[in-house]
Amino acid sequence: MIAALAGGVGGARLSRGLAALLGDHLSVIVNTGDDFEHLGLPISPDLDTVTYTLAGRANPETGWGVAGDTWNFMAQLRDLGGPDWFLLGDRDLATHLLRREWLSRGDSLTQVTHRLAQRYGIASRILPMSDDIVRTRVQTKEGLLDFQDYFVRRRCDVVISDLQFDGASSARVPVAVAGAIAEAKAIVFCPSNPYVSIDPILAVGDMHAHLMAARAPRVAVSPIIGGAAVKGPAAKMMRELGHASSSLTVAEKYRGLLHGLVIDNADAPLAPAIEACGMAVLITDTLMRNAEDSERLAATVLRFAESLPIDG
């Protein structure tokens, strides 16, 4: 079993490569801090992005939503003066309506996510980081913003000073997640935003203890290439939170947690400083332009993880 931690589009892209190689030997532990209720619908963006991507159904331009989706619902909503800042495609709507139906009759988010993945014929397991409510909120000079308000409505155009994950400390690690980590031969931190995709996962209950107790190498792929994020606000957040937007910041952030960090060729000069953080470094092409890139990088990361001697 390989366990991967993932959020957003970068996490989904590497998960796609891992799933192609591993099938039902892969469990993807997904961030739910982005989740929110919109028009009475329970929206789980990162769970849906990973599910659509592993199903080969994700919108290739945006990374989120369904490829080829139509927007009749949004057009009508707009005509009726409804909130049109968060786009819900006609096909995407089916996911949210089914999730609401199943949650309201008592199914867990884990059960709902598993059922949706099964209906897409996905062999890998897609596991919410918790079945309890965790909400990422962003501290800005305009006050505390819910994540989607910050990320979508405001397009990240406000300076952030801190992040919080409401509910995380009391949220429970699901049995399926604890099992995936305990059985893992390697644990992969996908190139997701460290602050709003990986940190919420690490903040859940005793997740950190489960990861540290695992007898498996823990390796991450840096989401930063040459000081810039491949996609999304990770680099901007790093600078606003007072750090250099660099793979070295990722290494310093995960010092003590990671056995290895995969960085891009562009960041090769950082290798000695990253090794000084107590982790091995692998330098390769980490940009995933297509499914072949994702599979190549996944294979490279797995070989790297297997090569690492781990402490007892």
Using CB under 6 A as the binding rule, whether residue 189 contacts ligand FO1 is answered as no
Print the binding letters for residues 40-59 with ligand FO1: x by CB under 6 A, - otherwise: ---x-xx-xx----------
Q: What is the DSSP string of 5-39?
A: EE-HHHHHHHHHHHHHHHGGGEEEEE--TT-EEET
Using CB under 6 A as the binding rule, whether residue 131 contacts ligand FO1 is answered as no
Using CB under 6 A as the binding rule, whether residue 299 contacts ligand FO1 is answered as no
Those residues whose C-beta lies under 8 Å from the C-beta of residue 270, and which sit 6 or more positions away, are: 246, 247, 248, 251, 263
Query: Footprint of ligand FO1 on residues 3-22 (CB under 6 A)?
Result: 7-8
Coil, strand or helix at 278: coil
Those residues whose C-beta lies under 8 Å from the C-beta of residue 91, and which sit 6 or more positions away, are: 66, 68, 69, 70
Structure tokens, 282: 């692998």
Using CB under 6 A as the binding rule, whether residue 151 contacts ligand FO1 is answered as yes
Using CB under 6 A as the binding rule, whether residue 65 contacts ligand FO1 is answered as yes
DSSP state of 265: G
Using CB under 6 A as the binding criterion, the count of chain residues that bind ligand FO1 stands at 17
Closest CB 232 distance from ligand FO1, rounded Å:
6
Using CB under 6 A as the binding rule, whether residue 35 contacts ligand FO1 is answered as no
Backbone angles phi, psi at 189, to 5 degrees: -90, 110
Quick one: which of 1, 73, 5 has its CA closest to 39? Answer: 73
The H or E element spanning position 139 is strand 135-140
Give the C-alpha separation, 260 to 281, whole Å: 6
Looking at 87-95, 119-127, 128-136, 172-180, which segment touches ligand FO1 (CB under 6 A)?
87-95
Closest CB 33 distance from ligand FO1, rounded Å:
9
Query: Footprint of ligand FO1 on residues 152-181 (CB under 6 A)?
Result: 152
Residue closer to ligand FO1, measured from CB, 65 or 260: 65
Alpha carbons within 13 A on the beta-carbon side of 152: 17
Looking at 72-80, 128-136, 144-152, 161-169, which segment touches ligand FO1 (CB under 6 A)?
144-152
Among 20, 41, 67, 87, binds ligand FO1 (CB under 6 A): 87
Using CB under 6 A as the binding rule, whether residue 223 contacts ligand FO1 is answered as no
**Interface ranges with ligand FO1 (CB under 6 A):** 7-8, 34, 43, 45-46, 48-49, 64-65, 86-88, 92, 148, 151-152
